[in-house]
Amino acid sequence: MTIKELEAKTGMERANIRFYEREGLLSPRRLENGYRDYSEEEAELLLRVKLLRSLHVPLDEIKAMRDGSLSLSTALAQQQERLMQEERDAAYAGKVCRAIREDGVSFGQLDAKKYLDGMQRGEEEKPSAYLETAVKEDTLPQAFYPWRRFLARMLDLSIYGVCWTLVQIFVFHVNIANRGVFFSLLDSYVGYGLMLLLEPLMLHFLGWTPGKLLLGLRLEGENGRLELRDAYARTLEMFGSGMGYGIPGYAQYCEWKAYQRCSENERQPWDVSNNFEIAYHAVERVSTLQGLGYACAHLAVFAVTALALILQLLPPNRGELNIAQFAENYNYYADYLGLDFGEYYFSEEGQWAERPEDGVYYVNILEQPTLEYQYTLSDGYLTGVSFSMDVQGQQQLISINDTEMLLAALSYAGAQKGFLSSGMPWQLQEVISEKAADGFWLSKCGLDIRCTVDKRGYTSSLRNGLAVYTDIDDPERYFSQQFSIVKQQ
């Protein structure tokens, strides 16, 4: 039967039926058109649920009866005792009300202590803890969901972190992939700084952060909107007591203590102080849509970070290049890869030049001449870049210029269309690192990149192609290398 027919048969609203279905009490069959098809057995089950819920039997006990772990007789006996307790509670409250009325006092004359003492002396008919039950309910709403609150915090920190990552990549041109442990720790504290700055603003104006919104959490102050000064005080206290100021080890201890407090329905110290008290609202269950939204938010953070790292491979100048633009790209990739060329730098003229005196003495253990780049131009724009090296009779290590090849190839190829989509950055690094000592040829992105090597008396590469060397005494040994990048016509 359709849900409309089920509504008519049971007298229940569609919202109730959907709720019990979400709770796992109903499992209707899905038709080919996507509609639900309810059976007669499910209609009977729903009527039983309606009856028992009308008697205020808890839903968990109804599930246990359906699963066979609780008998109907036991469940009804327990519910009967609860109802009798409520009846005694109501009778006792009525007795106190009657006594106050008989005294004929006004609200301003009411001797509350007299009646409170009577309720606390333990008369035989007084229900246990009846007084405290109502008073304890008169508090600001709280949300004791440790994992939900933790996951919301993790998403927020991820968002703060990716914001700082984007600033580093596109403003300061920092290669995030080469960050050491110290700088990674420093980056995390910048993320904490963004949290301390931005989170109070969101809590004041919106009542939530992205993580809290997606997991059904919302904050308010005692009188509605959380005051800005209270929001800043709360976030700062949370950073210390809940996150241990981000100190490794201590932070995990603080998070564990916060988890224990939540598990025991104890308020967190940053949600209550002498100056303010936080009302923490939460939906009872996170919906499937909210869960998907949370997962998608984490995927989006990862995707944005990955995309930013990939886009960082693009040089500042693209399209047609003149020599100065090629040199700027060259220096960009040198900084990106964290390369230091000692006493030399790559000038705007596209050649190596000595740095001005800076009091630092550099030692070149390779003892070979500095490369001189050759350029071919058409209307002022590059159509080719090349360099060559010829060494004869040298006994020291010889650089095979793999770094210079990679920088030149990236600087020129990075300006071409399809540079990233073709996978050329990674292919260049692989080909050059593996074959620079013996020669290679690569045609891609409208460029022909070629390295030819002729050698005698020199053996295979040292340290994965960083240098070649000789172990024989040959006065006629030599090493010749020609490298070129030519734009295809």
405-455 confidence digits (pLDDT tens): 999 999 999 999 999 999 999 999 999 988 888 899 999 999 999 999 998
Task: Please give the pLDDT value at position 254.
Answer: 96
* Beta carbons within 8 Å of 427's beta carbon, 6+ residues apart: 442, 444
Nearest to 270 by CA among 244, 242, 290: 242
CA 121 remoteness from chain centre? 56
On whether residue 211 sits in a domain, the answer given is: yes
On whether residue 318 sits in a domain, the answer given is: no
Residues 473 and 329 both lie in one domain: yes
Phi, psi angle pair for 392, to nearest 5°: -130, 135
Task: Please give the pLDDT value at position 367.
Answer: 46
Token pair listed for 426: 């990674």
Boundary of a domain, candidates 106, 137, 168: 137
Residues 331 and 458 both lie in one domain: yes
Residues 393 and 478 both lie in one domain: yes
Residues 339 and 439 both lie in one domain: yes
Boundary of a domain, candidates 43, 70, 97: 70
Residues 214 and 253 both lie in one domain: yes
Boundary of a domain, candidates 311, 332, 358: 311
Task: Please give the pLDDT value at position 466.
Answer: 53
Could you tell me the pTM of the whole model? Answer: 0.67
CA angle, 438 then 443 then 449, to 5°? 50
Residues 354 and 234 both lie in one domain: no
Q: Among the residues of 414-457, which ranges form H helices?
A: 424-435
Task: Please give the pLDDT value at position 194.
Answer: 97
On whether residue 316 sits in a domain, the answer given is: no
Mean pLDDT of 169-193: 87
Lowest mean pLDDT among 228-242, 256-270, 454-468: 454-468
* Beta carbons within 8 Å of 434's beta carbon, 6+ residues apart: 464, 465
Range of the domain at 105: 73-137
Question: Rounded distance, CA 40 to CA 313, Å?
Answer: 63
Nearest to 396 by CA among 440, 465, 453, 462: 462
Q: What type of residue sits at position 146? A: P
Nearest to 413 by CA among 458, 443, 378: 443
Number of domains in the chain: 4
Nearest to 186 by CA among 197, 201, 176: 176
Helix (H) or strand (E) holding 9: helix 3-10
The answer to whether the CB of 416 falls within 8 A of the CB of 488 is no
Mean pLDDT of 194-205: 96
* Beta carbons within 8 Å of 41's beta carbon, 6+ residues apart: none
pLDDT greater at residue 404 or residue 93: 404
